[in-house]
Amino acid sequence: MLDALAQGLKEAKARALVGPALQLDAFLDTMLRSRITRRVLAEQHLGISGGGGGVVEGALGVADAAEFAGQRAAMLCAEVYGVAPEVRVSGDTQAVLPYIPSHLDYMMYEVLKNAVRATVERHTAGGRAPSPRLPPVLVRVCAGRDALCLRISDAGGGIPQEHLSSVWAYGFTTCSDTGSSSGANSGNSGGGTDGEAPAADAAAARPGRGLGLAEVSEAPRQRYKLAGLGFGLPLSRLYARYFGGDLALQNLPGYGVDAYLTLKNLRHLSRDWSERDHS
């Protein structure tokens, strides 16, 4: 679905008179939020009806999810560029929280795809020149009582000033058809992909794959791309905000980007809703 939506958006924006005037981000937020809601409700119903516990994992290991997403992103980066930086996870590595695994997988994977791609392109001339040592992508897990924050730090050169206002726009990407971008950490990665994953897609290892992850292999004859649809960052932020969290970027020009993914503890979130209903 995302492939078709991205292609339609690209074609609409290419229209000479209509394209530049299109303001579709709010519409796409609303539409995709509605789709996420329907997906969550349907999968929750099916999970409970089948005797399971639904789509929310009561004690989701956040560091494990980050490691899983890092392995996937590095595997894909190595396939596209022949090399990939190490993804290191530190901090409160034993932290758990109730959350939907497919949502966290998607957000972490999209942010880490941007980070590893920017790192390789910054330090290896777009993957064409070997580098003796790539700086690692660092993931720091910081657990609080009501929320948890992951900081994803890369040394991919930062976001060019002219792209800062566009990184949250649906359809914005600096990635060419060959997979390379025109600026180090400027691109908004895919949001799903338009090809198949290498070997067996790692997303299949997680239950409840959800929007985006369930659609990774829609076109098995096409090359699996690291970026290019321009839905990765805005859709990841939409996922984060769906349960009261957020995704924010701190740009370090000439050095890299720190991405801050904040996740609300769903147990405390349900308590807040209950208190609000009775107030």
The 3-state secondary structure of 101-160, one letter per residue? HHHHHHHHHHHHHHHHHHHHHHHCCCCCCCCCCCCCEEEEEEECCCEEEEEEECCCCCCC
> Domains along the chain?
2-277 (3.30.565.10)
Assess whether pLDDT exceeds 50 at residue 234: yes
Q: How far is CA 98 from the centre of its chain?
A: 19
Per-chain mean pLDDT for the chain: 79
For residue 276, pLDDT over 60 is answered with no
Residue 187 has pLDDT above 90, yes or no: no
CA distance 137 to 91: 14
Question: What pLDDT digit, counting tens, does each position of 75-121 carry?
Answer: 999 999 889 999 999 999 999 999 999 999 999 999 999 999 999 99
Residue 204 identity? A
What is the predicted pLDDT for the residue at 90?
A: 97
Structure confidence at residue 130 (pLDDT): 64
Residue 257, phi then psi, degrees to nearest 5? -135, 140
- The residue ranking higher by pLDDT, 194 or 2, is 2
Closest CA to 120 of 163, 152, 155, 158: 155
Q: Which residues contact 2 (CB under 8 A, 6 or more apart)?
A: 191, 192, 211, 212, 215, 229, 231, 235
Query: What stretches of the chain show up as alpha helix (H) in DSSP?
Result: 2-13, 25-49, 62-81, 101-123, 210-213, 232-242, 266-277
Overall pTM > 0.85: no
Least confident interval from 62-76, 189-203, 224-238: 189-203
For residue 162, pLDDT over 50 is answered with yes
The closest of 190, 191, 200 to 220, measured between CA atoms, is 200
Q: Look at residue 20 and tell me whether its pLDDT is greater than 70.
A: no
Rounded to whole angstroms, the Cα distance separating 257 from 235 reads 18
Residue linked to tokens 């929750």: 44
CA 247 vs CA 146, 152, 221, 264: distances in Å = 16, 11, 33, 12
Percent of the chain residues past pLDDT 70, beyond the cut: 71
